[in-house]
Amino acid sequence: MQLKRLGGDFALEAGGVDLARPLSDGAFREIEEAFFAGQVLVFRAQNLTARQFLEFARRFGPPEPHVVDQFHHPEYADILILSNVVRDGKPAGLADAGTYFHTDYSYLETPARATLLYSLQVPRAGGDTLFANQYAAYDDLPGAMKKRLEGLVGLHHYGNRDDLEETSRTAASLLTEEQKGRLHWVRHPVARRHPVTGRTALYAVSGSSFGIEGMPEGEARALLDELKRHATLGKYRYRLTYGAGDVVIWDNASLLHSATLTDPDDARTLWRITIKETRRQA
Ligand code: SIN
């Protein structure tokens, strides 16, 4: 495997790997190391069946089907179909998923370790994913702010705290009443120790964080907004542009990410698998 740096201080591209072929434990260990080191790891121009994609994803941990179950892959519920294509008046997948900075499954008690996307249809323009490095964002905070964050616990719920208008393209994907009923408030540290690398990162300060335990609402919102502004600055970002067949895997515990709005008439389709954390925070 050859590794190439894509962004300034994170995001790697792995060459010389065919994910359709069985991976030895040694080869997988190398990939896993590159994943935790790079935070975003990209494999270009793969040719995978749904089953092969799922088998690769499972090497990272247990997949967790997305709450939006109407767009699960017909054979593999662990795969969520992201697509803006409409066939015979019916959406082929979930459109506009995650078009705001967020961390996957931060609205669940055991959040996501990794998310994988496999790009099937690439639009003529756009369709990129943005990533923001939350290790670097935390490291750069002034000492007084790091001290202030010590022990603070964020209160999370499904949604985008900056856009709750259900019909908006930048709100969280709409849930049915039954799906809403499956979700509850959960707690995560605002500055969170990564369960594998042990490094501290700002955690989901954009997206599902609506408050801070024990802090008046206005003060908590102001602090979260200040952290979000800092955490999504251009200097922490990397923009991934897809080619057909590209597979990307990213580390949710050390990143925020955001889809970008694409012309609804310019077809974009990806398969997505989300892997849950298996180790609780140290
Ligand atoms: C996501 O946030 O899961 C989707 C990212 C994308 O479609 O670019």
Residue 82 CB less than 6 A away from ligand 1: yes
**Per-residue pLDDT tens for 72-116?**
999 999 999 999 999 999 999 999 999 999 999 999 999 999 999
Helix or strand holding residue 53 (H, E): helix 50-58
Number of domains forming the structure of the chain: 1
Question: Please, which pLDDT band fits residue 282 given cuts at 50, 70 and 90?
Answer: very low
**Per-residue pLDDT tens for 182-199?**
999 999 999 999 999 999
Structural domain contains residue 20: yes
Residue 22 has pLDDT above 70, yes or no: yes
Q: How many CA atoms lie within 13 A of 2 on its CB side?
A: 4
CA distance 104 to 64: 11
Structure tokens belonging to residue 110: 């055991």
Q: How many CA atoms lie within 13 A of 202 on its CB side?
A: 32
Residue 268 CB less than 6 A away from ligand 1: no
Rg (CA), the chain: 18
- CATH for 204: 3.60.130.10
Which amino acid, residue 122?
Answer: V
pLDDT given at position 281 = 46
Do 252 and 276 meet the contact criterion of CB atoms below 8 Å apart?
Answer: no
CA distance 192 to 276: 16
Structural domain contains residue 174: yes
CA of 22 to the centre of ligand 1 (A): 27
Phi, psi angle pair for 38, to nearest 5°: -90, -20
**Per-residue pLDDT tens for 105-144?**
999 999 999 999 999 999 999 999 999 999 999 999 999 9
Structural domain contains residue 282: no
CA distance 126 to 87: 22
Structure letter (DSSP) for residue 247: E
Structural domain contains residue 179: yes
Structural domain contains residue 163: yes
Q: 131 lies in which domain range?
A: 2-276
Average of pLDDT values for 215-230? 98
Residue 129 CB less than 6 A away from ligand 1: yes
In ligand 1, the atom with minimum distance to the C-alpha of 115 is 3
Structural domain contains residue 139: yes
Structural domain contains residue 30: yes
| Length of the chain (residues) | 282
Structural domain contains residue 281: no
Which residue's CA is minimally distant from atom 1 of ligand 1? 98
Residue 211 has pLDDT above 80, yes or no: yes
Question: Please, which pLDDT band fits residue 279 given cuts at 50, 70 and 90?
Answer: low
CA of 199 to the centre of ligand 1 (A): 25
